[in-house]
Amino acid sequence: MNILVLNCGSSSVKYQFINPDTQRELAQGIVERIGMSGAVLRNKRHDGDEIAISGEILDHAIAIDYILAVLLSKNHGVIKDKKEIDAVGHRVVHGGETFTQSVLITDDVVKGIRDNIELAPLHNPHNLRGITACINHLPDTPQVAVFDTAFHQKMSPYAYLYGIPYSLYRRYKIRRYGFHGTSHRYVSERVARLMEKPYDSLKLITCHLGNGCSMAAIDGGTSIDTTMGFTPLEGLLMGTRSGDMDPSVILYIMAKEELGSSEANALLNKHSGLMGISGVSSDMRDVLEEAQEGNKQAAHAFNVFCYRIKKYIGAYAAALNGLDAIIFTGGIGENSADVRMKSLSGLSYLGINIDESLNASAKNEMKITTPDSTVSVYVIPTNEELMIALDTMTIVQEKEKAVV
Amino acid sequence: MNKENPQKIEDLLGDTLPTQSETEQISYVAIIGIGVMGRGIAQAIAAAGIDVLGVERNQDVAEESMEVIKQNLDREIQRWAITKSERQSILSRIKVTDDLEQVTECDIVIEAIDEEFKAKEDLLTTLDDLCSDETIFISNTSTLNLTKLADKTNRADKIIGMHFLQPVPKVPLVEIVRALKTSDDTFKKVKAFAEQLNKTVVEVYEYPGFVTTRVIVPMLNEAMHVLMEGIASAEGIDTAMRLGYNQPMGPLELADTIGLDEVHTWMETLFHELGDLKYRPCPILKKLVREGKLGKKTGEGFFKYNELGQKIL
């Protein structure tokens, strides 16, 4: 079965064409600068063939036209007929309280995604554009929506409610939703395989540390808590996002610096985090380099970043009442041995013993704790596209069975 | 594959053409005249992710305007509103030329040249010959007769006014001005364009002062009369209006911010056009303008200001 996985942003569409049975990626690429001058599609085929196509890509529908054209192209493509695309899997950022798992897209589902636009005004409209375009281009091909928020939808009210008037939850659905769900689910399922234990018997903490960072506490395959909240701003320190702080700080800054809400929003989302504290960069590699050269602010940024991860490990160990494994993933989680070491140092009380040489050399899927460590720590590269393709395949197969 | 020299889709597919766009998004806008108003509009459009072609014959004005835009963006960074890379990408979207012919590539043409009927008439008739029949012309005039201007061209249905308020990138409002023959289709397209700029649209018909100028002028004038008649101090008047009616700025400081010469011109225009005494400029305003005390831009008007335009108490 061949699945086209789409991730539609405001001016870009990322895609992968995957066979989830063999887990083989046939082609992948990105359309950038949609609706602007200099729009371009870059495609990379499994055999290394690369091509860039520029053109007037005015909207998402045309972008998907281009993607289909490349997949079907004689010299650079991978299929001969549109029918060889068995299904399309769409990444959708916000499923709100409507969606607790991936679903086959119907008119009702489209309406449900539309109803949640207010919760993700920067993302859901573009995701919807991609869905509408695919329905028009491939009317007979099943489409599946996979939500960033769905995995966390089984949290209990005590984990998702904020300490503000309940009427605000009722009126505006203000609560913790959490994000990166597809990634947390993928790496936690992978770790169960690697540990050769049933997924539903494990107590896990997953750390997705990329551009955005979040952690999840997973009890028997269910996310019971996560660090991101109503928006992706809460929780861990990130490249340019502040993460947790006293909410009155922002009110105080707004008054002092006479900022409006859009400036305050940009301050917390674009000028804070590693960038804000270090004053150097939002990239962990630059921050570490500066810190090693004696830049104090950069060292503070690194320390705040790691300390917050450690604090949440403690919190989630308590929430889970036990712990089998911790998983690191995402750009920083997969590549920064320093971040893993610092975040996990001084946790011997929890039974965590890092093997320093394994940690330093970690590559692909790997365990980095010593054999006597009661809690295992794994590095697992995330693969949200594969997860989306697998979900899509499962749902389409169930649909076919139901029809038969 | 050569990444430097991307292929076109036609090279790949022969004559299989992809579907046409369903939504008409504006992606390239020309602004003729990038003086004080034009550069504000240019910055606002570029900040919305749209490419801008500024046409300016006067090299000094062009350079000064780019410098001012850079300074504005630097100030935005200091106020945490944008990042350095956003500043770069906004600047990269603004291209300046002295060659009017380049506007033929643009989806929309905005004129923001001096408020002289003959100059605007000449420009619009030149553009009329130059541009495709579909191109919409937007005039920035707030004092000239738009319907008369439109009649000088062969596309009166595609001519419309847009009245921005200063500072253009900050004020979330634009008045879209319909001339007598402006078509509904033109209005709809320009409204969508304004929404692309994240501006709220108020539809107005061509009439002196539209809504914003017409309503604010009598209030500013009245505040000046209250001051002149000794009813309260300038500070007192502003405090009363700020707190009493939840205005972010009192009327006298607002007049200083707009520029007293500008306010004076508005009043004269409305007074002459409409003839009502309520628009007759207050003597105290005339006096300040004569003395060259024009408000924030000169450091003194009804109040005194430092270089950053902050009121000195």
Indicate the CATH number for domain B28-205.
3.40.50.720
* pLDDT tens string B52-108: 999 999 999 999 999 999 999 999 999 888 988 889 989 999 999 999 999 998 999
User: What's the rounded Cα separation, in Å, for the pair A117 and A122?
Assistant: 8
Distance CA A140, CA A135 (A): 8
Q: Which of A55, A31, A37 is nearest to B13 (CA)?
A: A55
pLDDT at position B15, please?
Answer: 41
| Tens-place pLDDT, residues A222-254 | 999 999 999 999 999 999 999 999 999 999 999
B25 neighbourhood in chain A, CB within 8 Å: 35, 58-59
Tell me the residues of chain B between 71 and 110 that have a Cβ less than 8 Å away from chain A. Answer: 79-83
Q: Is A122 on the interface with B (CB under 8 A)?
A: no
Whether A365 is covered by a domain: the verdict is yes
Interchain pair A55, B19: CB under 8 A: no
Closest chain A residue by Cα to residue B7: A53
Residue ranges with strand state E in A257-400? 325-329, 366-367, 376-379
- Give the span between the Cα atoms of A223 and A209, in whole angstroms: 17
Residue A23 maps to a domain:
yes
**Buried b / exposed e along B241-277 (16+ C-beta atoms within 10 A):** bbeeeeeeebbbbbbbbbbbbbbbebbebbbeeeeee
Smallest CA–CA distance, residue B94 to chain A, in Å, is 13
pTM as predicted? 0.82
Cβ within 8 Å, pair A11-B9:
no
- Quote the pLDDT of residue A343: 97
User: How far apart, in whole angstroms, are the C-alpha atoms of residue B269 and residue B272?
Assistant: 5
**Does residue B167 carry a pLDDT above 90?**
no
User: Distance (Å, rounded) from C-alpha A273 to C-alpha A233?
Assistant: 10
Would A179 be classed as within a structural domain? no
Position A262 scores a pLDDT of: 87
Work out the minimum CA distance from A242 to partner chain B, whole angstroms: 13
When CB atoms are compared, the residue of B8, B19, B28 closest to A53 is B8
Pair B31, B42: CB distance under 8 Å: yes
Task: Count Cβ atoms below 10 Å from residue B129 Cβ, excluding itself.
Answer: 8
Which residue range is the domain that position A212 belongs to?
A: 196-384
Q: CB contact, 8 Å: A156 with chain B?
A: no
Using an 8 Å CB-CB cutoff, list chain B residues near A69: 9, 12-13, 16, 18
Enter the ipTM: 0.71
Beta partners for A29? A15, A43
Q: pLDDT tens across B182-212, in order?
A: 999 999 999 999 999 999 999 999 988 899 9
Select from A56, A57, A242 the residue whose CB has the most chain B CBs within 10 Å, as the one to mutate to test that interface: A56
Q: Is A205 within the bounds of a domain?
A: yes
Q: Is there a contact between B32 and A79 (Cβ–Cβ < 8 Å)?
A: no
User: Is residue A231 domain-shared with residue A347, that is, in the same domain?
Assistant: yes
**Number of domains composing chain A:** 2
CB < 8 Å from B in window 265-294 of A: 266-267, 270-271
A402 touches B at CB < 8 Å: no
Structure tokens at B216: 């604010």
Within-domain flag for A120: yes
Kindly state the tokens that stand for A307: 């300390």
Interchain CB contact of A264 with B (< 8 Å): yes
> For position A170, what pLDDT does the model report?
96
| Per-residue confidence band for B9, with pLDDT thresholds at 50, 70 and 90 | low
* Rounded Cα–Cα distance for residues A177 and A95 (Å): 9
- Residue A336 binned pLDDT confidence (cut-offs 50, 70, 90): very high
Tokens standing for A250? 């922002």
Looking at the structure, do residues A303 and A368 belong to the same domain, yes or no?
Answer: yes
Sign of CA dihedral B272, B274, B275, B281: negative
Per-residue confidence (pLDDT) for residue B3, from 0 to 100: 42
Q: A341 with A356: CB under 8 angstroms?
A: yes
Out of A49, A59, A86, A148, the active site residue is: A148
Is the pLDDT at A349 greater than 80? The verdict is yes
State which amino acid sits at residue B104.
T
Q: What is the pLDDT of residues A278-324, one digit of tens each?
A: 999 999 999 999 999 999 999 999 999 999 999 999 999 999 999 99
Asked if B28-205 and B213-298 have one fold, the answer is: no
Answer yes or no: is pLDDT of B24 > 90.
Answer: no
The predicted model gives B168-186 an average pLDDT of 94
Select from A37, A73, A271 the Cβ nearest to the Cβ of B13.
A73
pLDDT category of residue B19 using cuts at 50, 70 and 90: very low
* CA dihedral for B267, B269, B273, B275, sign (positive or negative): positive
Does A370 reside within a domain? yes
pLDDT at B275: 93
Q: Is the distance from CB of B111 to CB of B33 less than 8 angstroms?
A: yes
A73 lies within 8 A of chain B by CB: yes
Report CB contact under 8 Å: B81, A262.
Answer: yes
Going from N- to C-terminal start, the domains of chain B cover 28-205, 213-298
CATH of the domain at A9: 3.30.420.40
Residue A140 annotated in active site: no
B119 touches chain A (CB under 8 A): no
Hey, are the CB atoms on B1 and A55 less than 8 Å from each other? Answer: no
Question: Sorting pLDDT into bands at 50, 70 and 90, what band is B2?
Answer: very low
Q: Looking at the domain covering B213-298, what would its CATH class be? A: mainly alpha
Does residue A307 or residue B269 have the better pLDDT?
Answer: A307
**B140 with B175: CB under 8 angstroms?**
no
Establish if A177 belongs to a structural domain. Answer: no
Residue A175 lies in a domain: no
pLDDT at B195: 92
Comparing CB atoms, the residue among A53, A65, A264 nearest residue B12 is A53
Continuous H helices in A122-279: 124-137, 157-160, 166-172, 181-195, 247-257, 261-270, 273-278
Q: What is the pLDDT of residue B138?
A: 96
Q: In a mutagenesis test of the B interface, which of A44, A62, A258 is the best target, namely the one with the most B β-carbons within 10 Å? A: A62
Of A59, A66, A73, which has the smallest distance from its Cβ to B22's Cβ?
A: A59
Q: What is the DSSP string of B72-132?
A: HHHHHHHTTSS-HHHHHHHHHTEEEES-GGGGGG-SEEEE---S-HHHHHHHHHHHHHHS-
pLDDT in tens, A60-77: 888 999 999 999 998 899
What pLDDT does B12 receive?
Answer: 58
